[in-house]
Structure 1
């Protein structure tokens, strides 16, 4: 699945909320902190990680492409 952003970047926690994977920023913080999220194939622990077009986010078997 792809998700188009309207700015130069989006933070990882905001992205997870935007694609409806989590219901709140607190939930995003927990999931990211526990190492469940991968960005471009690597585990990402920073909720403020800036995602840009071309980045791939994976969580629980779901993959999202940032456009």
Structure 2
């Protein structure tokens, strides 16, 4: 089961999305959890903070999943 978070644009960077989804507190924390391999996108570990997320992508951190919805 995953929550859905609507974004205004067609895409959003992973670091920004983590903050928007309230999965982390700050950009510095985003950098840390991503670098430590704790974040996955569509079931695969993602280590690029600038990864562009699009409609339908599912981000997971600490057992919490949030799906990206655009438009």
Work out which of the residue numbers 9, 12, 18 in structure 2 matches 1:10.
12
Task: Please state which structure has a larger fraction of its residues in strand.
Answer: 2
Larger RCO, structures 1/2 (Cα 8 Å, 6+ apart): 2
TM-score w.r.t. the length of structure 2 is 0.92
Q: For structure 1, which runs of at least 5 residues remain unmatched after alignment?
A: none
Q: Deviations over 1:10-54 (max 9, x none)?
A: 000000000111111000000000000000000000000000001
RMSD of aligned residue pairs (Cα, Å): 0.5
Q: Which residue of 2 aligns with 1:38?
A: 40
CA distance in 1, matches of 2:51, 2:59: 11
CA distance in 2, matches of 1:59, 1:23: 13
